Amino acid sequence: MKKIGLFAVLAAIVGFGFVNSCAKDKVPVITTTPDCVDTIHFATQIAPMIQDNCLGCHDTGGSLPTLTNHSEISASATAVLSTLHGTPQLMPQGGPALNDTLIQQFTCWISQGKLNN
């Protein structure tokens, strides 16, 4: 009886450790695909957002990426999106970050194929 009790305690400890380590190893599955039910329009949604928030600095010349038209914005889209999230630095420079709806729109515009519509 004593032996069984000890075994049970050991099994419980080992078992707990096992379950615990499994739980820690589990990477949470985060669904990053936004719910892009509406088609995003470049002319009325993306271009004005960039114009209002970015072109003060990203219009022409210099070492900064220019974001004045569809092809420039498309070419820089991935970098633009990551700066909207603060990586490698937050844009618009000096903040505040754009609101989530605008960032979501930009994300959807990319996932819908960066349409020039």
Distance (Å, rounded) from C-alpha 46 to C-alpha 114? 10
Measured distance between the N- and C-terminal CA atoms of the chain, rounded to whole angstroms: 78
**Given candidates 5, 28, 88, 96, which one binds ligand HEC under the rule CB under 6 A?**
88
Maximum CA pair distance of the chain? 83
By CB under 6 A, residue 65 contacts ligand HEC: yes
Distance (Å, rounded) from C-alpha 2 to C-alpha 71? 77
Q: Are the beta carbons of 82 and 88 closer than 8 angstroms?
A: yes
Distance (Å, rounded) from C-alpha 103 to C-alpha 81? 7
By CB under 6 A, residue 116 contacts ligand HEC: no
By CB under 6 A, residue 108 contacts ligand HEC: no
By CB under 6 A, residue 58 contacts ligand HEC: yes
| Assigned token pair, 40 | 């995003």
How many residues form the binding site for ligand HEC (CB under 6 A)? 18
Query: What string marks each residue from 8 to 47 as x (binds ligand HEC by CB under 6 A) or -?
Result: ----------------------------------------
* Least spacing, CB of residue 37 vs ligand HEC, in Å: 24
Give the footprint of ligand HEC on this chain (CB under 6 A).
Answer: 53-54, 56-58, 64-65, 76, 79-80, 83, 88-89, 91-94, 98
